[in-house]
Amino acid sequence: MKILVTGIAGFIGFHLGKRLLQSGIDLVGFDNLNSYYDISLKESRLNELENIEEKSQAKFYFEKGSLENLADLENVFSKYEPSVVVNLAAQAGVRYSLTNPSAYIQSNIVGFQNIIELSRRFEVKNFLYASSSSVYGGNVNIPFNEEDVVGHPVSLYAATKRSNELVAHTYSHLYDLPTTGLRFFTVYGPWGRPDMALFLFTKSILEKKHINVFNNGQMMRDFTYIDDVIECVLRLLKKPAQGDDNFDKTKPDPSKSWAPYRIFNIGNSSPTYLMDYIAAIEECLSLKAKINFLPMQMGDVKKTFANTFELEKWINYKPKTFIRDGVSEFVSWYLKFYKITRSD
């Protein structure tokens, strides 16, 4: 069995690839290595995967290309014939969508259509894809439940992710393609993205620079540790979506279907105040942050909180890492990776 993981040089893709190789599963990685953030970090992740391959019984094949280039993808499907696809490649970031919206349309809509269509044509047995907690948009009822109506996105990024979910349902219905949408809630941990809060805050605090904290710090996030996320994905790989024989079309649940289609929240179901998150970073670094309190940014939301009851029922697992433990793991990685020696 070969598993195709797009966005393999990204944060979540790298960690998933690592676990697959360590489990002896052949891995086909696909990534365009774009310059949205430091390419050298992405290259280091790929190097790490190659090192893991040398010690495992599995094979790692890497192909460079973009989702929006159909020829790139067709070559990969024809060459490797993957039986399972995990689509993690996307243009990420809520704030960047305010300044470069076309990147989101091309990667997250055109690109998604390309890969799900090829998955149909090559009769993939299980198709998983990254969605986002951002799809909950203007919803104010918390915790966020998968059966909530999510028709009011507040960022283009969120709108593209909701679009993916709708397209996936269509393919599940028309072609019996099992699809599972993964609504990730603020994933963090070692090898994380440089545009995310934990990375930005750690870097700035170490450099004695100010950090920007929006909405004057009155924010809550359901921070979810990367190892918990990967455990969820691995279990979902083993349990493709199935149609619900009891689906009630008069009261349709948006997270399920008569078709083999599911959507799950992938969150810690334990939201943390942003200021408490910063306090955990300060504790791990033994340094105090210098803070610029700023107003709420366009496209952002004040709170995220995942209800993971459906996920727990489906895979018998619940994310559980405490913030202090997860932040500590990241800080240890950061200091080692960037060769920072602490004298204070």
Rounded Cα distance between 320 and 315, Å, is 14
User: Could you tell me the sign of the dihedral formed by the alpha carbons of 140, 143, 144, 146, in that order?
Assistant: negative
The residue annotated as part of the active site, out of 36, 80, 96, 157, is 157
Instruction: Name the H helices within 56-155.
Output: 70-80, 101-104, 111-121
Strand 187-188 and strand 179-184: the pairing is: unpaired
In terms of C-beta density within 10 A (0-12 exposed, 13-18 middle, 19 or more buried), how is residue 113 classed? Answer: middle
Spacing of C-alpha 276 from chain mean position: 23
Task: Classify 13 as helix, strand or coil.
Answer: helix
Dmax over Cα atoms in the chain, in whole Å? 65
Give 55's contacts (C-beta < 8 A, 6+ positions apart): none
Rounded Cα distance between 223 and 304, Å, is 9
Rounded Cα distance between 149 and 35, Å, is 35
Question: Could you confirm whether 157 is annotated as catalytic?
Answer: yes
- Check residue 340 and report its DSSP letter: P
Q: Tokens for 37, please give them.
A: 């953030």
* Catalytic machinery residues: 157
